[in-house]
Amino acid sequence: MKRVLFLLLTAALALVFLVTIAQDRHRGWVKYQRQFLGTLKGAERRGIARGVHQTIVQGLDRVDRCTTCHLAATKPQLGLAEQPFTAHPGQYLQWHPVEKFGCTVCHGGQGLATEVKAAHGEVPHWEEPLLRGPLVQASCRQCHGEVSTIQEHAPLLVQGQQLFTAKGCYGCHAVHNFGQTVSVDLSEVGAKSHQLIEADFEMMPGPHNRIHWLRRKLAHPRVLNPGVPPEALPRGEEEVFPSSMPFFGLEMADIEALSVYLLSLKAEDLPASYVRPPHTPPEPTYASAVTRGRAVYEHYGCTACHGIGGVGGRRNPNNGLAEEAPSLLYVKAYYGDHVEALKQVIRQGRQPAPRADPHRPNPPLYMPAWKERLSEEDLEALIAYLFALSDRLPAAAVGDLL
């Protein structure tokens, strides 16, 4: 009986072994290698090893198997016209050799995987999907702290960083200790789990990942966070306002650039030998106090709430001033004789903003305190700029307020 049981178990083990071999012969990477090797001549084929190709990047503590399928990535002389047999474009591998950098540090995906979807990170519970096309520029910021120095190779990253400042995003969001705390800190939004960036996937079609959530949020902020009125909530629950992020009417090119920049915001702990830290920029010079004040206004993101040139109009539910962030064109008319009072408003902020209806929640946008962020010289220049905005008003409009 024992001998029969032994023979049966041996046969079962042999069967499992044969099934495993048969499965391995039909894996995706085996098919790709067979296709690629079939295009090569004898001498070329001898330089390509069969089986799983593995790159151990000790400096980054990662293992990548991407070249198992992408056999021509490091051999441009053998590259074909279609993926996964194309050669890596440009000279990037000369500057970033695979032995030192691997693949996934720049391209994302799951380095140890050997199946296509898993390797590209397009599977549940994997938070680093493949960065396709221009999105790969987001990875450059991990090492290159001064992105302007690589503008030729990462134009969208540089454009996105500039747009982030130009649209006043720092007025509500902080990035690495610069900016305000009106809304969420974006210092690590490029690495945050979608569950931690308040991603409501019920409000958007698939695919449900960080990349597409950012694109949708930038295109239509209030579609993803439309708010909940009191009548739709259980009795006693407080009204939830829609997202206070303004609709900027961004073009698709701007959305893509901002997505690249936001995806680049990560807290990476790379070895010093990989990092090129940013240089301290020279102190700017200005032709006048008004010019300096405009630079302060734009640099600190005041445009996010008060608009370009202080025209206002940003929606702010339940705000006592027509449910909008106030225009700054009338600052001189209100505070011309009370400059110190205006300084106090800027230094101390106004938290929360005054409510139009005391029975509804506080407005989501408020004037944050700037006393720890603005120098006295910048504050004086900012006031000079705000007073100069009154020049845009007709004389009659100013006279009515005096």
In-domain check, residue 215? yes
In-domain check, residue 9? no
Give the burial class of 95: count Cβ atoms within 10 A of its Cβ; 0-12 exposed, 13-18 middle, 19 or more buried: exposed
In-domain check, residue 342? yes
In-domain check, residue 143? yes
Looking at 130, 149, 165, the residue that finishes a domain is 130
Q: Residues for the chain: how many in total?
A: 402
- CB burial readout 125-142, b (16+ within 10 A) else e: ebebbbbeeebbbbbbbb
Q: Note the pLDDT of residue 222.
A: 87
Note whether 139 and 262 are same-domain residues: yes
Note whether 190 and 156 are same-domain residues: yes
Block means of pLDDT (10 residues each) for the chain, 402 residues, are: 79 75 72 91 84 93 94 90 91 93 94 93 84 95 92 96 94 91 90 62 77 91 85 85 89 97 89 89 90 95 91 88 89 93 94 89 91 93 95 60 44
Note whether 144 and 262 are same-domain residues: yes
Helix axes 289-299, 155-166, angle to 10 degrees: 110
CA distance 122 to 128: 9
Q: Note the pLDDT of residue 278.
A: 86
CA distance 302 to 180: 10
Q: Note the pLDDT of residue 100.
A: 94
Residue 328 burial (CB count, 10 A): 22
Q: Note the pLDDT of residue 297.
A: 95
In-domain check, residue 94? yes
Note whether 395 and 298 are same-domain residues: yes
Q: Half-sphere exposure (CA, 13 Å, Cβ side) for 108? A: 26
Q: Which of 175, 157, 184, 146 is nearest to 300 (CA)?
A: 175
Helix axes 339-348, 376-388, angle to 10 degrees: 120
- The CATH number of whichever domain residue 295 belongs to comes to 1.10.760.10
CA distance 400 to 226: 39
Note whether 142 and 229 are same-domain residues: yes
In-domain check, residue 82? yes
Note whether 180 and 159 are same-domain residues: yes
Note whether 113 and 195 are same-domain residues: no
CA distance 357 to 319: 8
- Give bridge partners of residue 355 from the DSSP assignment: 319
Q: Note the pLDDT of residue 233.
A: 83
Angle CA(220)–CA(222)–CA(228) in degrees, nearest 5? 160
Looking at 215, 240, 274, the residue that finishes a domain is 274
Note whether 259 and 142 are same-domain residues: yes
Note whether 265 and 147 are same-domain residues: yes
In-domain check, residue 8? no
Note whether 183 and 306 are same-domain residues: no
- The answer to whether 157 touches 261, Cβ cutoff 8 Å, is yes
Looking at 220, 251, 274, the residue that finishes a domain is 274
Note whether 155 and 256 are same-domain residues: yes
Angle CA(216)–CA(189)–CA(117) in degrees, nearest 5? 70
Q: Note the pLDDT of residue 385.
A: 97
What is the number of domains present in the chain? Answer: 3
For the entire predicted model, the pTM comes to: 0.86
Residue 120 burial (CB count, 10 A): 19
Q: What is the 3-state secondary structure (H, E, C) of the chain?
A: CHHHHHHHHHHHHHHHHHHHHHHHHCCHHHHHHHHHHCCCCHHHHHCCCCCCCCEEEHHHCEEECHHHCCCCCCCHHHCCCCCCCCCCCCCHHHHCCHHHHCCHHHHCCCCCCCCHHHHCCCCCCCCCCCCCHHHHHHHHHHCECCHHHHCCCCHHHHHHHHHHHHCCHHHCCEECCEECCCCCCCCCCCCCCHHHCCCCHHHCCCCCCHHHHHHHHHHCHHHHCCCECHHHCCCCCCCECCCCCCCCCCCHHHHHHHHHHHHCCCCCCCCHHHCECCCCCCCCCCCCHHHHHHHHHHHCCCHHHHCHHHCCCCECCCECCCCECCCCCCHHHHHCCCHHHHHHHHHHCECCCCECCCCCCCCCCCECCCCCCCCHHHHHHHHHHHHHHHHHCCHHHHHCCC
Q: Which of 287, 281, 310 is nearest to 297 (CA)?
A: 310
In-domain check, residue 209? yes
Give the burial class of 294: count Cβ atoms within 10 A of its Cβ; 0-12 exposed, 13-18 middle, 19 or more buried: buried
- CB burial readout 358-393, b (16+ within 10 A) else e: eeeeebbbbbbbbeeebeeebbbbbbbbbbbbbeeb
Note whether 140 and 126 are same-domain residues: no
Domain that holds residue 365: 289-399
Q: How far is CA 342 from the centre of its chain?
A: 35
